[in-house]
A and B are shown apart, each in its own frame.
Chain A
Amino acid sequence: EVQLVESGGGLVQPGGSLKLSCAASEFTFTSYWMRWVRQAPGKGLEWVAVINPDGSEKYYVDSVKGRFTISRDNAKNSLYLQMNSLRAEDSAVYYCVRCYNYYMDVWGTGTTVTVSS
């Protein structure tokens, strides 16, 4: 079964850092763009960052540019999100998502990030 499993979430103080990981299985990871999408408590969906199959192209939503870095390790079938200078408004469930032709066909179960003092 195609699966995405996130890890690395937790409680962090404002200004702190956190690195999320996503382990992919049962599909050819190197063939897909991958994305992080977040959902703040009680709010809608917001894409955060996206990366192409070989990691040479990366795009970010304006609110995280310069603070977040998306990366991937194709040898390990893994996707990452390094989050620095975290703010309260970054608190959300972060989903690892597989992309296909501009839509998101497989979603992980999510990992929760809470930014609070």
Chain B
Amino acid sequence: QSVLTQPPSVSGAPGQRVTISCTGSSSNIGAGYDVHWYRQFPGTAPKLLIYVSSNRPSGVPDRISGSKSGTSASLAISGLQAEDEADYYCQSFDSSLSGSVFGGGTKLTVL
């Protein structure tokens, strides 16, 4: 059971907009700690996708965005493309555990 809760899977048709939620608690996201997102294609290493809740590293298109509110965060991908099909993980810091925590991951399928 992950400290941060993500839906196991989401799906959408090409061109659509999908969101992936990341629900935490008062000891992590709700305490004000930043949320970060990673994308992982099958058989490859994860890669930073969004940092500090809503910032994109260079090379990440602006159709990918992040937000945070209360004890939750969301990753939104608009203009869905086949290349977006991957696993997505959120990550934050938890003061009760005194360490970083990950969500369980969400598999995005492009229909």
Q: Contact residues of A with B, CB < 8 Å?
A: 35, 44-47, 50, 59, 61, 95, 101-110
- In the complex, the answer to whether A46 meets B33 with C-beta atoms within 8 Å is no
Interface size on B, residues (CB 8 A): 23
User: Bound complex: CA of A45 vs CA of B98, how far in Å?
Assistant: 17
| Number of A-B contacts defined by CB within 8 Å | 55
Which of B33, B44, B48, B99 is A47 in contact with, Cβ under 8 Å?
A: B99
Which stretch from B18-26, B71-79, B100-108 is at the chain A interface? Answer: B100-108
Which of B33, B46, B47, B99 is A45 in contact with, Cβ under 8 Å?
A: B46
- In the complex, the answer to whether B45 meets A109 with C-beta atoms within 8 Å is yes
Do A102 and B46 contact each other (CB < 8 Å), given the known contacts A44-B102, A46-B102, A47-B100? no
- Cβ of A83 to closest chain B Cβ, rounded Å: 19
